Each structure stands twice: as C-alpha cells, then as structure tokens.
C-alpha cells in the first residue's frame, strides 16, 4: 500500500533553481531541500512567529487572500466562510512532527463573546449554570479552543449588570420619546410566597420598567398609591394619562389618591378582568354550576392517573377520527377556560360515547349515563356555549396588544346583543336569565368610564356609535379637561371635534375615512389629521391600553424564571433577568431579524389534575 503523503507539502511550493529542486515556504519564502522533518519543524516556528506578529497588532485585519493560505491540515478549527474583523487567526492541529494547537484570542474579542453568550442565555431563560455543564464546555472547546466560557458567577454578576444597564438605557430612551404613557401594574406572589408588584409602561408598546418587593408592607391604598406616584414621577407625570390595574378594592381606592396628586391621570380597571368577572357571575348560577360540575367529573374520570387505560383508549379513538384535541380542564391562570373545557367535550363527544359502551372497560355507571344522555347533558353544553363563547371571545380580543380604549364600549354593546338573543334558548331558568341581564349592565357600568366614551367618539371607525347621549356629554368633559392639561385652546379643540363629528373640513373626503381601516387609530390622527387641534388628544386616547394584560404576561415570564428549582435567586436578580428578557424586543430592529420575539410558554390548561413540570437548575442567591 503506498505511503500517505504528508500534509506538510501543502505549505511548500516546488521550484527549480539552477537545475536543482528546492521547496519554498508559502508563508515566509524560506528555502529547503526535500526533507519533511525539517520542513515540519520550520512550519511550527513559522506559525508561532506569524501569530505573535498578529497579536502585537490587534487592530490589524486579516485579508481574505492571506486567510485562505492559513494552514488547515489535520483536524482544522471551525472558521467562518468570510474573514473575521478580529485579529485572531485559528490554526489546525498538524500532522507529522508539527505539534501543538495555535488559537489566540484578544481580550476585546473575549469580552464581546462573553456578552453575546450571556445575552443569549438571558433571552432564552436558560439556566445560568449552563456554562459549567461539561458537554457545553466540550462543545465550545471544540468550536473555539482559546475561548474560556464565563463561569456562573460572572453570568449572575457583572455580565448581568452590564446587559441590564444596556437594555434599561433603551427603555429610558423609548419612554423619553413617547408622547403618551400609561402605567400598568399588578401584584403577584413568587415561589417563596413573597409579594411582588410590577410596573409596565405602555408607550404604547409595553416595556418593563421595574418591580417592587413589598416585603412586610401591607397592600393598603396608601402604599399602592405612593408606589404608583413614584413610578409616575420617574417617567414624567406630564406624559402619563392613565394607570391600568385589576379591579381589586385597594387598587380602585389607590386611583383616587393618584388623581388627587395628578388630576389629569385616570384610573382604569382592566376590561379583560371585568369580562372574566362577568363569566364568573354567570357560572355561579345554579344551572351553570351543575353543568360545570358534571363536565369536570367526566374529564377528571378520563384523565385520572389510575384510569390511564381509559385515557389511552379515548386518545386512540380521537386519532382515528382525525381529531387531535384533548379533554381540557379550566386553568386558574387562563380566563375563559370554562369555554375551552366545554368545547373539548363537544370535540370528544363521539369518542366518549364509544368508549363508555366498550365491554372491555369498566366505566362508572353514572359517568356512562351522563355521556350517553343526548337529550339533556349535551343539549345543555351546546346551548350554554351560546352564552359563554361571546364573553370568552371578547376577553381574547381585548387582551391583544393592539386593543384600544374605544374597543371596550363596542365589545360590551356586541356582547349584550348576542347574549340577549341566546338567552331564550339557554338552559337557564327565567329568574336566572334576568340575573344575566343584570350582571351585564353592572359590569358595563363599572368598566366603561368617560375616558372610554371619549375614545369611542374619537375613533374614526366607531365615531361614538357604541355610547348613549349621557356618555357623550361625559366624553366632552374629558376632552375639555385634557385640552386644559395640554395647554390647548379648549374652544379650538371643541370646534375641531364638531367638524370631525359633522364630517366637515378635512373630513369631507371619503378616502380619509376609508384609510382608517388600514392604519392604527393613533397613526390616522397623527398622519392625516395632525393639523386639527383635537388630533393630539385623539392620538393619546388611541394609545391607552384597555387592560393590564401586559402585566399578566410579565408574571408568566417571572414564573418561568423564578421556579421551584431556581428558588434561591434573589428578587433583585430575578428582576434583572425578567427586564432583559422582556425588553430585548426593543433591539429587534437593530439586529434585523424577523423572528426574535421573546415568548413565554403558557401554563398548562389542565392544571387542576396535572402538576406543572419544571426543568431548570438550582441557582445560588
């Protein structure tokens, strides 16, 4: 078998000088006769000399042509297809008599790599001890031998502080450049049972500002108001027009104290929370409560751990019917879960009925009777959904990031109509039907404030069609008060409003109105109607969020960061990790990527029977 030619010869050029064959080094032009051992020894010294020369000039750039001539014999180090801007050159592990592995990294490049790796860890919610895992270390060592991964302490200290400052500087800039701000806040208990309050600033894009560990402080109206006032003063009180929270009594009382300090700021209850309370009102009725218990009984029977044969049989029957849906129980963390549960029963009806008549399965008699009862149970499920689904759909719509205040009167008006039509066919008693109507009226009265009416009037699509005359008058008062706060001429503003409602002046054109279907409300006012005195007020009302959904989503991120297995994280460190992960979206335009949105996984909708599984690491405080 012929001897394999040494890779050493790839780095020498064979030339003929005066009838004698010699070999010239491609890197330094040194001349040798044919002697692979000496040539290999020369290569080792040649590469070291070249490496030292590059390190002594860290700002120099390696040209593509010279990079192509770098040795790649043996097992090469992975390199980019393009030339690097850094001064580092990577050399392979050479065969023959060339020993050693040459890969030198400048401190500047090491710092940039540390920051980039740390950012990826924070953005993905990965454990901070990842860099101490033997397999991750092996991967990085093979990819770049000279790069030493930062230890966990570095990731939880100076690298974290540096990235947090970078992100919060961008948050400060976004808040500074916004013309309308809203403070969105909510409370939460972490895995250690400690009470935390978060503060989201709607610009209108929601950005996480900070959170507060309340420690031994009671959540009184005075304490909550003082914290809100502190946040308002931090971001600039003149640009804050609303605080949005849930509908708890202490929160509502805190609104009044905030308004005493800042009369132009309105306290707004979360519309999604109000709609969920309406759903709870309906489900407390005796007829709906019984239906809820029956539905849960069926699902729990199928999903209980000691009934795995039943669950497996149900799943196989669903697959045979080309249905991938499973039976779902309501989750305390997901509003409208009752609708998901009833819909999952409808989807699995055929499979359930086939399952309970199987002789091989010993199914509870009461469960079998309930499932096979087409005349009562299933009719009640279908007719109840006609009442519940409109509420759940309204919750889903109002929770979107692009939802605006003017949507609240519209959704309630539509909701009232749909439920009124569905009530005669519902399983409810006559007295219960009257209760549902009362519940809707009460929740509407609580949720829809004069500021919602003002937003609905100034919505170019709704134009006040979802409010009554009394609400129109209150809307005018809000617009006048805002004009005074913004140092605008009230007469000019109201005159401009009159032209808007009469479709006069710039609003005579049909094209102006049609354009409102293709852009946001705020853009419509700022772009096409910016010359009108009322435009600045209208654009502000179009940027105030109707719910505290952004705050709720923030808690989901908190829960995924501060888990049962990461319960030693300090609250300060958790706040920084959440702030980075939440606000990195502000840098997406700089990076130029389309799919960099940081998402959080939703809680398991079957939380009543399944425990959440947490895969993470235990962190040091």
Q: Which whole-number Å values give the CA distances from 580 to 163, 210, 419, 563, in the listed order?
A: 7, 11, 43, 17
Q: What is the pLDDT of residue 333?
A: 63
How many CB atoms are located within 10 Å of the residue 520 CB? 16
CATH code at 162-270+548-591 = 3.30.420.10
- Kindly list the distances between the CA atom of residue 477 and the CA atoms of 264, 363, 482, in Å, as whole numbers in the listed order: 12, 64, 9
The reported pLDDT for the residue numbered 348 is: 92
Give the per-residue pLDDT at 609.
Answer: 33
Token digits for 59? 């700002």
Q: How many Cα neighbours within 13 Å face the side chain of 92?
A: 16
**Could you give the CA distance from residue 87 to residue 69 in angstroms, rounded to a whole number?**
16
Q: Which two tokens stand for residue 166?
A: 């970078």
pLDDT at 85: 41
pLDDT value at position 618? 35
Cα separations (Å) of 135 from 31, 123, 214, 480? Answer: 45, 21, 40, 65
Write b or e for each residue in 458-471: b if 16 or more Cβ atoms lie within 10 A of its Cβ, otherwise e.
Answer: bbbebbbebbeeeb
Spell out, as residue ranges, where the chain has pLDDT lower than 50: 58-101, 593-621
pLDDT for 5: 67
Q: Are 185 and 550 in contact (CB under 8 A)?
A: no
pTM equals 0.76
Sign of the dihedral defined by the CA atoms of residues 530, 533, 535, 539, in that order: positive
For 344, phi then psi, to 5°, come to -65, -30
User: What are the E-state strand segments in 264-392?
Assistant: 266-269
Of the candidates 2, 28, 34, the residue with the CA atom closest to the CA atom of residue 15:
34
């Amino acid at each position: 078998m012929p001897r394999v030619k040494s890779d050493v010869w790839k780095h020498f050029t064979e030339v003929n000088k005066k009838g004698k064959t010699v070999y010239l080094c491609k890197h330094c032009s040194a001349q040798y006769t044919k002697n692979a051992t000496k040539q290999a020894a020369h290569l080792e010294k040649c590469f070291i000399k070249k490496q030292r020369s590059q390190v002594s000039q860290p700002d120099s750039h390696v040209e593509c042509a010279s990079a192509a001539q770098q040795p790649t014999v043996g097992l090469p180090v992975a390199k980019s297809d393009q030339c690097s801007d850094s001064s580092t050159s990577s050399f392979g592990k050479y065969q023959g008599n060339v020993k050693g592995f040459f890969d030198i990294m400048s401190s500047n490049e090491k710092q940039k790599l540390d920051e980039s790796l740390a950012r990826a860890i924070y953005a993905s919610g990965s454990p901070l001890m990842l860099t101490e895992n033997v397999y991750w270390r092996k991967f990085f060592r093979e990819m770049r031998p000279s790069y030493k991964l930062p230890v966990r302490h570095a990731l939880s200290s100076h690298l974290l502080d540096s990235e947090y400052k970078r992100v919060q500087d961008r948050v400060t800039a976004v808040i500074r450049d916004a013309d309308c701000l809203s403070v969105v806040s909510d409370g939460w208990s972490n895995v250690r049972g400690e009470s935390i309050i978060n503060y989201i600033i709607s610009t209108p894009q929601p950005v996480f500002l900070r959170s507060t560990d309340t420690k031994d402080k009671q959540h009184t109206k005075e304490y909550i108001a003082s914290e809100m006032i502190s946040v308002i003063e931090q971001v600039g009180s003149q640009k804050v027009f609303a605080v949005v929270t849930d509908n708890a009594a202490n929160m509502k009382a805190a609104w009044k104290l905030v308004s005493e300090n800042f009369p132009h700021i309105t306290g707004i209850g979360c519309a999604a929370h109000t709609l969920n309370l309406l759903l709870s009102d309906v489900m407390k009725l005796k007829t709906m409560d019984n239906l809820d218990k029956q539905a849960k009984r069926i699902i729990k029977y199928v999903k209980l751990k000691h009934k795995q044969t039943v669950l497996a049989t149900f799943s196989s029957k669903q697959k045979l019917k080309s249905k991938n849906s499973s039976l779902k129980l309501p989750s305390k963390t997901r509003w409208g879960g009752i609708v998901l549960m009833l819909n999952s029963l409808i989807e699995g009806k055929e499979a359930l009925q086939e399952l309970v008549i199987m002789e091989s399965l010993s199914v509870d008699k009461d469960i079998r009777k309930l499932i096979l009862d087409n005349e009562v149970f299933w009719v009640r499920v279908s007719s109840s959904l006609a009442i519940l689904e409109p509420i759940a759909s309204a919750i889903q719509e109002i929770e979107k990031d692009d939802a605006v205040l003017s949507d609240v009167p519209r959704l309630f008006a539509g909701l009232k109509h749909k439920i009124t039509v569905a009530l005669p066919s519902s399983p409810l008693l006559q007295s219960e039907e009257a209760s549902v109507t009362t519940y809707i009226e009460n929740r509407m009265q609580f949720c829809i404030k004069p500021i919602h009416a003002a937003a609905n009037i100034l919505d170019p699509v709704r134009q006040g069609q979802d409010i009554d005359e009394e609400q129109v008058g209150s809307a005018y008062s809000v617009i006048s008060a805002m004009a005074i706060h913004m140092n605008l001429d009230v007469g000019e503003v109201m005159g401009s409003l009159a032209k808007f409602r009469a479709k006069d002046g710039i609003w005579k054109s049909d094209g102006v109105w049609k354009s409102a279907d293709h852009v946001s409300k705020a853009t419509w006012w700022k772009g096409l109607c910016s010359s009108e005195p009322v435009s600045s007020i209208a654009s502000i009302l179009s940027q105030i969020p109707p719910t505290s959904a952004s705050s709720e989503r923030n808690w989901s991120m908190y829960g995924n960061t501060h888990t049962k297995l990461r319960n030693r994280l300090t609250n300060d460190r958790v706040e920084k990790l959440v702030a980075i992960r939440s606000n990195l979206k502000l840098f997406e335009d700089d990076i130029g990527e389309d799919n960099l949105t940081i998402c959080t996984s939703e809680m398991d909708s079957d939380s009543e029977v399944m425990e959440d599984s947490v895969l993470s690491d235990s962190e040091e405080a």
